[in-house]
Structure formats: structure tokens, C-alpha cells
Amino acid sequence: MISDKFKLAVLVSGRGSNLQAIIDSIEKNDLQAEIALVVSNVQKAYALERAEKHGLKVLFIDPKAYPDRANYEQALVEQIQAQSVNLICLAGFMRVLGKNFIEAFANRIINIHPSLLPAFPGLHVQKRAIDHGVRFSGATVHYVNEEVDGGPIILQAVVPICDGDNEASLSEKILKQEHIIYPQAIKMIAENKLTLSGRRVLHGK
Ligand code: GRF
């Protein structure tokens, strides 16, 4: 049987190193998927250049062109639905998504976050982890729900925090792990390995 490839939309706002990790994993054939669309809310995001270098379809959708968040998100929904994607990957997308967007793609949106959730949701989390004195931080891939960084956890990687670490060094260590676990999590979903049981994501199907 010839099956269609698992289709992704990747939403970005900046540097795009996680987008690159997904692209690399697909190009190495580790991940059997296709990026149908890369969407940015920032016109000059370096992520868009990376996507174009790999011949991917890119779209800049300007929030300023819409009267409010609901209209902006409706435009996002329509563009993504037009590509019939199986999964939406937030990869450094710096906007909080509202109810309508999340309901349009229920359980089909995931995000990568640079801490061990539920510790340190939100912004500047590497610095907050150091300042708090935790000995371990890391990266989390999770489903997106309406609570910021609050959805069910799919994969985590742990990174030790050493005495000499600062925000930059910790961010770099965590980012290396992000690039490993994000494609892995997508692969698990593409291979239909995950089951949601309440807040728990069970891996062994
Ligand atoms: C990453 O640290 C990710 O965890 C967070 O935003 C950053 C995006 O980096 N959500 P990049 O644009 O993928 O390089």
C-alpha cells in the first residue's frame, strides 16, 4: 500500500534551529515526514531563510494586518488547513495561541520548551532555572493546550546545571537536547505510537 507522507506545518518566529533539526532528520530519512508549510509571524525570521534553502513552502503572516488576535489566528487556521497537515510543530513561535486555533487542531499541536516542565513555564527560563538553584533542567516536548506550556508531556531530556553555567552555556546545552528530542517526538506521533491517558502520554502502543 502506498501511504501518503505524514505532513507537518512548522510555526516559527526566529532563529529556526529546531526547524533545522526537523529538516535534517527528514533529509536523513530518520523521520518519514514532509514539511508542507513553514509559517512565521516575523518577516525577517532566519528560520524562513533556512526553510527556503531547503525548498519548503514559507508564509509570513503579519499580525499587524489583522484587527485582532482572533482574526489573525483564523488566517493561520485557514492557511494550515489548506495544506491538510497531520501535525503542527511550534518551533520558537513567540505567540500564545488561543482557544479557536487550539480547537481547530485538537491534540495535533506540539511545542518544544527549554525547561523540565512543569518547572519554569514562560520566558527566560534558562536564567530562571539558574537563579532558582535547580541542579537539573532540560527540554520538554509537549502537546499544546490553552494553558501556556501546560499540555501533556511527550518527551523530556535532562541537562545538569554546573556551578560555572550561565544563561548562554545552559541554553546551548539544552538546545542540543531539543534538537534530539523534537524530531524523536514527531517520529513517535507519525508512527502512531502515542496514546493520551488523561494528562499522561503513553509511549508503548
Ligand atoms: C528554543 O529554545 C525552544 O525551546 C523555544 O524557543 C527556542 C527556539 O529556538 N520554544 P529556535 O528558533 O528553534 O532556534
Nearest CA to ligand 1 atom 5: 92
Q: What is the dotted CATH code of the domain comprising 111-205?
A: 3.40.50.170
What is the band of 68 on the pLDDT scale with cuts at 50, 70, 90? very high
Q: Is 14 touching ligand 1 by the criterion CB < 6 Å? A: yes
Atom of ligand 1 nearest to the CA of 46: 12
Nearest CA to ligand 1 atom 7: 92
pLDDT above 60: residue 2: no
Say which residues have a Cβ less than 8 Å from residue 83's Cβ, sequence separation at least 6. 7, 9, 36, 37, 57
- Which residue intervals of the chain bear CATH 3.40.50.170? 1-106, 111-205
pLDDT tens string 76-122: 999 999 999 999 999 999 999 999 999 999 999 999 999 999 999 99
**Ligand 1 centroid from CA 76, angstroms:** 20
Query: What average pLDDT does this structure show over 38-62?
Result: 98
Please tell me the distance from the alpha carbon of residue 99 to that of residue 146, in angstroms, as a whole number.
6
What is the band of 205 on the pLDDT scale with cuts at 50, 70, 90? low
pLDDT tens string 6-40: 999 999 999 999 999 999 999 999 999 999 999 99
What is the band of 182 on the pLDDT scale with cuts at 50, 70, 90? very high
How many Cα neighbours within 13 Å face the side chain of 69?
7
Tell whether domain 1-106 is in CATH 3.40.50.170: yes
pTM, 2 dp = 0.97
Query: What average pLDDT does this structure show over 45-54?
Result: 98
Nearest CA to ligand 1 atom 12: 16
- DSSP per position, 132-176: HT-SEEEEEEEE--SSTT-SPEEEEEEEE--TT--HHHHHHHHHH
Active site (annotated) includes residue 54 = no
Please tell me the distance from the alpha carbon of residue 102 to that of residue 79, in angstroms, as a whole number.
15
- 8 A C-beta contact, residue 14 and residue 45: yes
pLDDT above 50: residue 69: yes
pLDDT tens string 133-178: 999 999 999 999 999 999 999 999 999 999 999 999 999 999 999 9
What is the band of 1 on the pLDDT scale with cuts at 50, 70, 90? very low
Grid cell of 66 as nine digits: 489583522
Say which residues have a Cβ less than 8 Å from residue 52's Cβ, sequence separation at least 6. 58
